[in-house]
Amino acid sequence: MAYQQHYFEAVREAQSRAYAPYSQFKVGAYLVTKHGQTYSGANVENAAYPMAICAERSSLVAAISDGVQPGEFESITITVDAEQPSSPCGACRQFLKELCDDDMPVYMTNHKGEIIESTVGELLPLGFSGKDLTK
């Protein structure tokens, strides 16, 4: 399914709930499953900086915790308040690789509504996940 305008509205709402007192860089994520379920995520920072949780992982953890299975995701939209849309960090790319299909769309937006479309596979080429393990 292609990008829809209401994804932008939903991801901006998710972003408004971010807790980013240290970086002031609020990120929102809006995850859609193949069954039409939706999950929002926001980054949550911590004074122990490495302990922060990114918006992308926040939404994926909520979905998996709710019983959604890996591979059942249709798309994720991410937004930031920056001049250019930002891509997921390395940890989030790995999380997406583990839980989502390589051809799943990743829509990266900014506060102006500009969008860059990619896929999980394009964001982490030659990536490795549990799908690559054999017994």
Q: Which residues are catalytic?
A: 56
Distance CA 7, CA 15 (A): 12
Cα dist. 120→62, 79, 111 in Å?
Answer: 19, 16, 22
Q: Which residue in the block uniquely carries the two structure tokens 């308040």?
A: 81
Helices (H) and strands (E) in the chain, counts: 4, 5
Residues 6+ apart with CB under 8 A from 50: none
Q: Where are the alpha helices (DSSP H) in 24-78?
A: 55-65
Listing DSSP states for 6-34 in one string gives: HHHHHHHHHHTT-B-TTT---EEEEEEET
